[in-house]
Chains A and B, each alone.
Chain A
C-alpha cells in the first residue's frame, strides 16, 4: 500500500528536522537542502510501500544520504561552499548561552568542519540526531564496524582540537 497523506505528514513531523540538518552538511546551503528535502518527500510519496522490515529512521536517512550523494555528483560545489558554511556556523552560536559555552561551541563547530566528510556526517548523526551505529550503518550503507570506527576517529580529532580550550575554561 502506498503512503497515505497522514502517513506522509507523520514522517515529515518525525524526521524532517533531522533530515534537513543532515542534508545541509552536504549541500552547505539551506536553499539546496530545501530542494533535496522536497525531492526526498516526493520519493517517499511515490513508494509503493514503506519497507517495514527496515528501521524507519535508518530508511529515511539512507534515502537522504543517497539523494545527497547524487546531488554532490551532479554539482561539484564543495570548494566554495565549505567557506560559506564556516561563515554560517561562525555566526551560528545561540545568543542565550553563557560565554564559556559559547567559546567552546564555536571551537566545536570549527573542529567539526575540520573533520573529513565521512567522519563529520557520522558524528552529526550520532551527536545531533541520536542515531545508533546500526542505524548509521544502514543509512550510509556501510558496515557497522566502519560506522563505529569512523565515529571513534572523529571523537579523537574533536578531543585533540578542543582539549586546549576546554582545559583553559575549566
Chain B
C-alpha cells in the first residue's frame, strides 16, 4: 500500500472513530459569555461627546450669558457714528456752550 492509499484509508477510518464534539447546548453558553466579554472589552461608542466636555461647554456658555446680562449697556453700536459726527461738528450747540463756558472760566480766573 503506497502513502496516498494508506492516507486515504486512515482518513476513511477517522469517520468510524468517535470524535469528541462540543454539544449544541454549549454553543449558546460559550457564545453568550464571549459576547459579554466583547461588550466589556469594546463598549459601544455613543454619539454624545464626553461628559466633561459637555459640562465645560455648558459652564462657559452660562458665564458668557451672565456677563452679558450683568454688563450695563452705555451705548449701542448703531449710535456710535452719530456720536462721532456730533463731536466733530464745532458748530453744534453743545460745542458752542462748552466754548462759552471755557471763555467765561478764563475770564473769571483772569488767565492770559
Contacts and interface: CB of A to CB of B under 8 A. Distances in A.
Contact of B22 (A16, A46, A109, A155): A16
A166 B20 CA distance: 26
Interface in B1-42: 1, 3, 6-7, 9-11, 13-22, 26-27, 29-31, 33-35, 37-38, 41-42
A12 B18 contact: no
B14 to A, nearest CB: 5
Contacts of B7: 127, 155
- B interface: dominant SS: helix
A38 B29 CA distance: 9
B21 A2 contact: no
A60 to B, nearest CB: 13
Interface in A29-74: 30, 33-34, 37-38, 41-42, 44-46, 48
Contact of A30 (B11, B20, B29): B20
Given A45-B38, A93-B17, A37 B22 contact: yes
A101 B35 contact: no
Interface residues of B, number: 29
Contact of A93 (B18, B30, B41): B18
A128 B14 contact: yes
Contacts of A91: 18
A101 B13 contact: yes
A41 B30 contact: yes
Interface of B: 1, 3, 6-7, 9-11, 13-22, 26-27, 29-31, 33-35, 37-38, 41-42
Given A34-B22, A127-B14, 4 more contacts: A20-B21, A94-B18, A128-B14, A158-B6
11 contacts: A20-B20, A21-B21, A34-B26, A38-B33, A44-B34, A45-B41, A91-B18, A94-B16, A108-B13, A158-B6, A158-B10
